Amino acid sequence: MFLADTHMHSTVSFDGHSSRGEMACASRMDAKLDCICFTDHYDIINEKGEHCPHYDWTPARQQQAAARQLVEPCEGFELLYGIELGNAPADFDAAERALAEPGLDFVIGSIHNASGKLGGIDYYYIDYKQQPQLAAPHLKDYLDSLLELAQWGNYDALGHIPYPLRYIRQRGGLPMGLEDYRELVDEILRTAVSKGKAIEINTYRGRGTLEDYVPLVKRFRELGGQLVTCGADAHRAEDVGKGLKNAYALLEECGFRYVTVFRQRKPELYPL
């Protein structure tokens, strides 16, 4: 089985805990992966709600080169170069500038923050147990932003589509889901299909179940989607690849026979 984890964060990201070298070695030696892609954060609205119109690729270049020296002698292991581009609708010009980086293999498009009209706060920092009244407007606002991102189109995969539910339902304990926004979710998926883009199954470092992805992935396939990537969203070396085989099993359950890996921003399919 070809195992590819194409969503991970090193210390290049503000919330990473391991270097790219450490994570690459763990991916090869411990998790026995065949391919990884580093997708460190560039959030145009950052975790503090600040506008960041410029991205410095220097740390990513340096750590990528160091990691390659460590693992490239390993036969059958591939190290790819990517980015998780967060909150692009806040400044599409800034996003376009960042994506001019030479040698990019993969771009995950994601939304981590509420829009400016709702204060621009990162969902991670919201206590929905204490402020349950924020959950519904935040989820609707999130999906509106995700649709705007999908329509823009300069991404390869839409990342962790159920993202706010990590904090609304899993941490906040509120009984909410994407089924209440079926038409809007369909429009997001249909837009990704029309543009030939992928969606991602994000295992959230193997935490909990992947139940939110089952209806999403099935509906994506019904709408004609063919490209699905998988990633653990690891932020430290010990979490690389966690839950990846469960994501592959979910793909099969939903009728897919291939997992997608992007190289030079072009999709390639591997049998599950």
User: 181-194: per-residue pLDDT in tens?
Assistant: 999 999 999 999 99
- Tens of pLDDT, residue by residue over 16-74, are 999 999 999 999 999 999 999 999 999 999 998 999 999 999 999 999 999 999 987 67
Whether the CB-CB separation of 267 and 260 falls below 8 Å is answered with yes
d(CA 149, CA 145): 6
The pLDDT score that the predictor gives to residue 155 is 98
Task: Give the pair of three-digit tokens for residue 66.
Answer: 């160091």
The pLDDT score that the predictor gives to residue 9 is 98
End-to-end CA distance of the chain: 6
Q: Collapsing DSSP states into helix, strand and coil, what is residue 195?
A: coil
The pLDDT score that the predictor gives to residue 75 is 77
Q: Say which CATH number the domain at 224 has.
A: 3.20.20.140
Segments forming the whole domain that contains residue 118: 4-271
Q: Quote the DSSP letter at residue 29.
A: I
d(CA 230, CA 7): 7
Contacts of 1 (CB under 8 A, 6+ apart): 245, 248, 272
Domains contained in the chain, number:
1
Looking at the DSSP bridge assignments, the partners of residue 268 are: 261
How much helix, strand and coil, in percent to the nearest 5, is found in the chain? 40, 20, 40
Task: Give the pair of three-digit tokens for residue 67.
Answer: 């990691």
Read off the pLDDT band of 128 (50, 70, 90). very high
Read off the pLDDT band of 88 (50, 70, 90). very high
Between CA 192 and CA 195, with CA 193 as vertex, the angle to 5 degrees is 65
- Tens of pLDDT, residue by residue over 154-180, are 999 999 999 999 999 988 999 999 999
Rg of the chain in Å (alpha carbons): 17
Nearest CA to 241 among 83, 35, 42?
35
The pLDDT score that the predictor gives to residue 112 is 98
Mean pLDDT, residues 87-103 taken together: 98
d(CA 131, CA 235): 28
Mean pLDDT of the chain: 96
- 0.85 cut: is pTM over it? yes
